């Protein structure tokens, strides 16, 4: 089976991700919707070559009343983990990139 024959996205209605940040407060980030990105290798590839790529989710992360909308964070995080093939489930950190106007995700296993 080639990679093009493989479904890489799980059912996003059954979330496996866990919000493990210290707080739900989105410090200094205006209410709104933001693209979620992460830097990871493509773990789906069968290769010994390792290089980092930036992955972006099509699902937006929401900030409402100064707090992370945890449901949107978990959905977008799972989308990114499915895309790159990483097995981690713990959303450990969310950082706002002021230059690029996106949220940077750190996930642990």
Give the tens place of pLDDT for each residue, 68-85.
Answer: 999 999 999 999 999 999
The CATH T-level fold of domain 17-41+51-108 is Ubiquitin-like (UB roll) (3.10.20)
Q: How confident is the model at residue 11 (pLDDT cuts 50, 70, 90)?
A: low
- Beta carbons of 40 and 85 less than 8 angstroms apart: no
Single out the residue of 91, 90, 109, 83 nearest to residue 10, CA to CA.
83
- Quickly list H helices, the chain: 70-84
Q: What is the pTM of this model?
A: 0.86
How high is the mean pLDDT of the chain? 89
pLDDT at 48: 82
pLDDT at 49: 82
Q: What percent of the chain has pLDDT over 90?
A: 74
CA-CA distance, 71 to 68, in Å (whole number)? 9
pLDDT of 57 > 70? The answer is yes
């Amino acid at each position: 089976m080639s990679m093009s024959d493989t479904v890489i996205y799980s059912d996003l209605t059954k979330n496996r991700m866990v919000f493990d940040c210290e707080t739900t407060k989105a410090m200094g980030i205006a209410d709104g919707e933001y693209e979620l990105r992460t830097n990871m290798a493509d773990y789906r590839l069968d290769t010994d070559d390792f290089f980092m790529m930036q992955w972006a989710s099509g699902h937006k992360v929401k900030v409402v009343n100064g707090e992370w909308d945890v449901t949107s964070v978990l959905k977008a995080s799972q989308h990114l983990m499915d895309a790159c093939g990483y097995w981690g489930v713990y959303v450990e950190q969310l950082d706002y990139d002021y230059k690029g106007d996106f949220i940077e995700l750190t996930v642990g296993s």
